[in-house]
Structure 1
Amino acid sequence: MSTAPAPRLREAWLLAATFLIAVAGLVYELIAATVSSYLLGDSVRQFSIVIGVFLSAMGVGAWASRFVGQAMRGFSWAQIALGVVGGFMAPVLFFAYAWLGEVAMPLYGMLIAVGVLSGMEIPLIARVLKEIGAPDFRFENVLSVDYVGALAASLAFPLLIIPHLGLMSASLVFGCLNLLVAGLSLYLFREVSSRTQWAAWTIALLCSTAALAQSERLVSITETQLFEDDVILSEATPYQQITVTRFRDRTRLFLDYSIQFDTMDEYRYHELLVHPALGLAPRIESVLILGGGDGMAAREVLRHDRVKQVTLVDLDPRVTALFRDHPELAELNNRSLSDPRVTILNQDAWQFVDESDAVYDVILLDLPDPKNIALSKLYSRQFYALVAERLSANGLIVTQAGSPLFAREAFWSTVHTLRETRNPLAPGDGLAVRPYHVYVPSFGDWGFAMASFAPLADRVPKLPAGLSYLTAEGWQTAQVFGADNGEVPAEVNDIQSHALVGYYLDGWDRWFR
């Protein structure tokens, strides 16, 4: 009986394996970059470092593959090792951070190991194809399949893998994928497979599948250690990790593990963000909120009877859906996101103000802190110029501007940027800006900047009844800065320099690292 089909079957499998391992390898790289941006901050810096380290390690692996005597046996060992190291990457990193407070060392150690092992794969596959006498073997075919696999992973990671699996399960699933590649390779090339390899593969597969089956429990254990209170909701979206915790009647929202509000004191932040502008603006029929997907700012806006329309633009549809539809979360914002006066648009803030032709009486920027370039652009002179185009002649813009104490230069950079923003009603001039701040226990001293086309008269804003913090006297106090948080020289932030990111990271690192 002819055995001729065997080499073709093996050739087809090796090309299929090339695709699968390319997918797994890029997923590990993206997991490492995502975890590091969550836990170490500055996603641009972390992604850059992770990519550089990973590619360098792949180069080392490709070079080291020449020392592997038996190519197929070496490839199988590499897949078993990748299944373990890559598969357990996210669990190890989260556990290390939760229990040891350290993530950099295990992160880069595991990343280098995965990179070296991944770098060995393609040279070893090419050698095996040559050894089996693949009639149509061309090295560029192997590389083409590898690149297609990388493309598939890059598209699937934000759209399918993270929303449906989360980081912990995704890591373990693709570890199991490497182990399945190893298992089928051991079977198809059983004449060169050893009992030791089969034993190691069996143990690794059992451990990985057991961990995958308990992945939700592993996530719960980790989150219990990471957060002080009970985790009542944890969900990964294509944009961020959403976590909601509760202790008695106290609820906190975390995005990418950074606190966004605590119901014990969020009223201080949201009252100062909203009511000075709405109390000073002569007309407030139409209000635009950029960010603020939790609905807290909208809740405060709707306290003003003169408001007829609120447009809320937030990137993540899952956040707005949760705070509109989840009974307990919607109660926190007085069901503001279900109010008929509120229109929710889930799109990028920059894209919205660039493409919209609507005009608003008050524009509130309740955006995440500028901890990376992607967010810093929403605090740039160019973005503020687009926002100013959407403002009515006597309207007001307010942005949260971070802490004038913890990140002093960052706060004043935001103020200076608004002052240097092109004034559409007075060509050649900038905007008139009034900085102010308030103490929020969850955040510390927190600042805001109010901008207008002309300087504001020094008067008390008209405040709605029933506020928990803000008073006429409190507004006057909010405009006074001390010697340790007052104005300092700081560069204007624009999309070329992004000076704000450096100010922000340096300021917070000085206090908390």
Structure 2
Amino acid sequence: MNPDKTVVQPRELWLLAATFFVAVAGLIYELIAATISSYLLGDSIRQFSFVIGVFLTSMGFGAWLSRFVSNALTGFVRAQIALGIIGGFCAPLLFMTYAFFGVVGLPLYSALILIGVLSGMEIPLIARVLKDLGATSFRFENVLTADYIGALAASLLFPLLIIPHLSLMAASLVFGCLNLMVAGISVWLFRNEFRIGTWIFLGTALLASFAALIASEKLVSVVDANLFEDDVILTERTQYQTITVTRFQDRTRLFLNHSIQFDTLDEYRYHEALVHPAMASATNRTNILILGGGDGMAAREVLRYDDVESVTLVDLDPRVTQLFRDNPQLSALNSNALNDPRVTVINQDAWQFASQDQGQYEMIILDLPDPKSLALSKLYSIEFYSILTERLSANGVIVTQAGSPLFAREAFWSIAATLENARNPIAPGQGLTIQPYHTYVPSFGQWGFIIARNTPLMKPVPQFPDNLQFMTSDVWNAAQVFSADTNEVDVDLNSIRDHRLIDYYEAGWNFWFR
């Protein structure tokens, strides 16, 4: 019996290992592309769907093209080198083109198609190389098994290790180096099949990729310097988002996933409008719940009231609350509110907290990001609002930021209608009483809010605290008046079954700004 037919040979074992590694790299490139597109283009569900569809279709085309590769081994190595270069530099390219030219779609899908085609060629070529080696002990199912296990490994690595510890640029370059190392080991094991030119080209690509990886933090700084108008004083990638803080002289801005959250030049307008009309009209302010607002600005405004005894602030990302609690420059912006003994910070998903918590609150303040995705849209749904009403005391008040009644008119009134129709535990079947209002915040434009409660709203003019910079009785009265182009329109309620709010939100902002 020929021992080569019964004993696993190093080259055969390596090709199965290579299948695993290239599967990991391929899926990581796909996830990076989808993540970047959702950051820069918005609507994560749509972007992930488009990226997956284009990538899988390209893989199918690549598998078909592999039949025209005359030398399977050479074709596999060249595909790995090309993937190492294109896949590795994909994220830097996308961020650079967006930062300098404002372009995302063309480079994104061009790179994605190339990566998909090259990835689709890998399995057929590896199977052919194994067949050429006479590796009868390795059936095609073994190759597919290694490929699927690699995909599982990538899907676990991306959220658990890569996103929390690497920037998207660095991650792209790391897995580009992985493809190049797969090519390098393959060339070494089959060194009689390759000429010196392959070694030189591969070595050059590896050196360039390693150099770019080492300089990836500088690349991130260059991109940030062009994405943001001011100096970037902090940028971090957490498990949940990218946090960026910029500063120009005494002006500080916070961006989450490149979307502005506040500007110290005018944030007082937003936070005073969000908090004080509801707080000043409440009959009891003992126990307050804030969902979102990890920067502590809403908590700062709540703590202006001496009768507040307890504030529970729930924000998903622990790094945001840590920064605005422990960083002296950032905690000063919220008057050290997150270190106040009356404030309890809980880092948890708002839906999970509301579903599990058994507390009762006189005030619930929703300082949440705009409903750009399913994960955020559900926090503006009738189901979520109905959960919150169970946490509300009999005379309690809910207030939420609701986007722009000008730029996203239908979205604003959908939130209003949804909140109005939420379950009322005090008067079943009647819904809630709401008060929509709006004001101008230069960083955002015309911005809207909605107050809701189980019982009819109090009409007397609320008494606001002294020393506010913006909110007065006159401002409050004017805020309740809507112009003809921002007034109420017929819209559907937002539910977790259909997420109509996302459509309204995207349509409105796209009409004005794209």
Shorter-chain TM-score tier: over 0.9
Alignment-derived partner of residue 232 in structure 1: 233
Give CA-to-partner distance per residue, 1:25-75, whole Å, 9 cap, x none: 111001100110011110110001000000100001111111111111111
Alignment-derived partner of residue 30 in structure 2: 29
Alignment-derived partner of residue 261 in structure 1: 262
Matched, 1:278 2:257: no
Deviation at 1:81, TM superposition (A): 0.1
Letter in 1 for 2:513: F
Provide the rounded CA distance (Å) in 1 between the counterparts of 2:463 and 2:100. 49
Matched, 1:327 2:337: no
Alignment-derived partner of residue 352 in structure 1: 353
Provide the rounded CA distance (Å) in 1 between the counterparts of 2:86 and 2:7. 32
Give the secondary structure class of the aligned counterpart of 1:398.
strand
Alignment-derived partner of residue 14 in structure 2: 13
Matched, 1:304 2:305: yes
Give the secondary structure class of the aligned counterpart of 1:489.
coil
Alignment-derived partner of residue 392 in structure 1: 393
Provide the rounded CA distance (Å) in 2 between the counterparts of 1:144 and 1:463. 66
Alignment-derived partner of residue 211 in structure 1: 212
Letter in 1 for 2:458: A
Provide the rounded CA distance (Å) in 2 between the counterparts of 1:326 and 1:143. 50
Larger mean CA deviation between 466-475 and 127-136 belongs to 127-136
Provide the rounded CA distance (Å) in 1 between the counterparts of 2:7 and 2:95. 44
Letter in 2 for 1:38: Y
Letter in 1 for 2:43: D
Alignment-derived partner of residue 494 in structure 1: 495
Task: Say whether the 8 Å CA contact 2:408–2:504 is kept in structure 1.
Answer: yes
Deviation at 1:194, TM superposition (A): 2.8
Provide the rounded CA distance (Å) in 2 between the counterparts of 1:136 and 1:288. 63
Alignment-derived partner of residue 99 in structure 1: 100
Deviation at 1:17, TM superposition (A): 1.0
Provide the rounded CA distance (Å) in 2 between the counterparts of 1:267 and 1:276. 14
Letter in 2 for 1:103: V
TM-score of the two chains, using structure 2 as the length reference: 0.98
Letter in 2 for 1:167: L
Deviation at 1:195, TM superposition (A): 2.7
Alignment-derived partner of residue 143 in structure 2: 142
Give the secondary structure class of the aligned counterpart of 1:358.
coil
Alignment-derived partner of residue 177 in structure 1: 178
Give CA-to-partner distance per residue, 1:195-238, whole Å, 9 cap, x none: 33222211211111111111111111111011000000011111
Give the secondary structure class of the aligned counterpart of 1:117.
helix
How many corresponding residue pairs?
A: 512
Give the secondary structure class of the aligned counterpart of 2:193.
coil
Provide the rounded CA distance (Å) in 1 between the counterparts of 2:189 and 2:74. 12
Alignment-derived partner of residue 449 in structure 2: 448
Letter in 1 for 2:93: V
Deviation at 1:6, TM superposition (A): 9.5
Task: Say whether the 8 Å CA contact 1:7–1:132 is kept in structure 2.
Answer: no
Give CA-to-partner distance per residue, 1:324-349, whole Å, 9 cap, x none: 11111111111111111111111111
Give CA-to-partner distance per residue, 1:453-505, whole Å, 9 cap, x none: 11112112221121110011111111111111111111111111211111101
Give the secondary structure class of the aligned counterpart of 2:165.
helix
Deviation at 1:188, TM superposition (A): 0.4
Provide the rounded CA distance (Å) in 2 between the counterparts of 1:277 and 1:42. 31
Give the secondary structure class of the aligned counterpart of 2:73.
helix
Provide the rounded CA distance (Å) in 1 between the counterparts of 2:474 and 2:232. 38
Deviation at 1:269, TM superposition (A): 0.5
Larger mean CA deviation between 79-88 and 204-213 belongs to 204-213
Alignment-derived partner of residue 464 in structure 1: 465
Give CA-to-partner distance per residue, 1:280-323, whole Å, 9 cap, x none: 11111100010111111111111111111111111111111111
Deviation at 1:135, TM superposition (A): 4.0
Matched, 1:72 2:91: no
Give the secondary structure class of the aligned counterpart of 2:467.
coil
Provide the rounded CA distance (Å) in 2 between the counterparts of 1:203 and 1:37. 33
Provide the rounded CA distance (Å) in 2 between the counterparts of 1:161 and 1:133. 38
Matched, 1:434 2:432: no
Provide the rounded CA distance (Å) in 1 between the counterparts of 2:269 and 2:460. 21
Task: Say whether the 8 Å CA contact 1:437–1:478 is kept in structure 2.
Answer: yes
Letter in 2 for 1:118: S
Give CA-to-partner distance per residue, 1:240-285, whole Å, 9 cap, x none: 1111000000000000000000000000000111111111111111
Task: Say whether the 8 Å CA contact 1:94–1:222 is kept in structure 2.
Answer: yes
Provide the rounded CA distance (Å) in 2 between the counterparts of 1:156 and 1:401. 36
Deviation at 1:441, TM superposition (A): 0.2
Letter in 2 for 1:76: V
Give the secondary structure class of the aligned counterpart of 1:370.
coil
**Runs in 1 of length 4+ with deviation above 4 angstroms?**
2-7
Provide the rounded CA distance (Å) in 1 between the counterparts of 2:467 and 2:134. 82
Alignment-derived partner of residue 90 in structure 2: 89
Deviation at 1:413, TM superposition (A): 0.6
Provide the rounded CA distance (Å) in 2 between the counterparts of 1:11 and 1:383. 55
Provide the rounded CA distance (Å) in 2 between the counterparts of 1:350 and 1:141. 43
TM-score of the two chains, using structure 1 as the length reference: 0.98
Provide the rounded CA distance (Å) in 2 between the counterparts of 1:104 and 1:311. 42
Alignment-derived partner of residue 362 in structure 2: 361
Deviation at 1:3, TM superposition (A): 9.9
Give the secondary structure class of the aligned counterpart of 2:502.
helix
Name the % identity. 65
Matched, 1:196 2:197: yes
Give the secondary structure class of the aligned counterpart of 1:395.
strand
Provide the rounded CA distance (Å) in 2 between the counterparts of 1:509 and 1:476. 31
Aligned-pair Cα RMSD in Å:
1.3
Larger mean CA deviation between 485-494 and 225-234 belongs to 485-494
Letter in 2 for 1:349: A
Give the secondary structure class of the aligned counterpart of 2:192.
coil
Task: Say whether the 8 Å CA contact 2:242–2:257 is kept in structure 1.
Answer: yes
Provide the rounded CA distance (Å) in 2 between the counterparts of 1:158 and 1:250. 33
Give the secondary structure class of the aligned counterpart of 2:402.
strand
Provide the rounded CA distance (Å) in 2 between the counterparts of 1:289 and 1:172. 40
Task: Say whether the 8 Å CA contact 2:281–2:458 is kept in structure 1.
Answer: no
Give CA-to-partner distance per residue, 1:112-168, whole Å, 9 cap, x none: 000000011111111111211224212122112211111111111122112211101
Matched, 1:167 2:168: yes
Give the secondary structure class of the aligned counterpart of 1:17.
helix
Task: Say whether the 8 Å CA contact 1:410–1:504 is kept in structure 2.
Answer: yes
Letter in 2 for 1:100: F
Alignment-derived partner of residue 336 in structure 1: 337
Letter in 1 for 2:381: S
Letter in 2 for 1:101: G
Task: Say whether the 8 Å CA contact 1:233–1:243 is kept in structure 2.
Answer: yes
Task: Say whether the 8 Å CA contact 1:298–1:337 is kept in structure 2.
Answer: yes
* Gaps in structure 2 of 5+ consecutive residues: none
Provide the rounded CA distance (Å) in 1 between the counterparts of 2:227 and 2:14. 43
Provide the rounded CA distance (Å) in 2 between the counterparts of 1:170 and 1:282. 52
Task: Say whether the 8 Å CA contact 2:89–2:176 is kept in structure 1.
Answer: yes
Alignment-derived partner of residue 220 in structure 1: 221
Letter in 2 for 1:219: V
Alignment-derived partner of residue 376 in structure 1: 377
Alignment-derived partner of residue 249 in structure 1: 250
Give the secondary structure class of the aligned counterpart of 1:402.
coil
Letter in 1 for 2:453: S
Provide the rounded CA distance (Å) in 1 between the counterparts of 2:208 and 2:461. 66
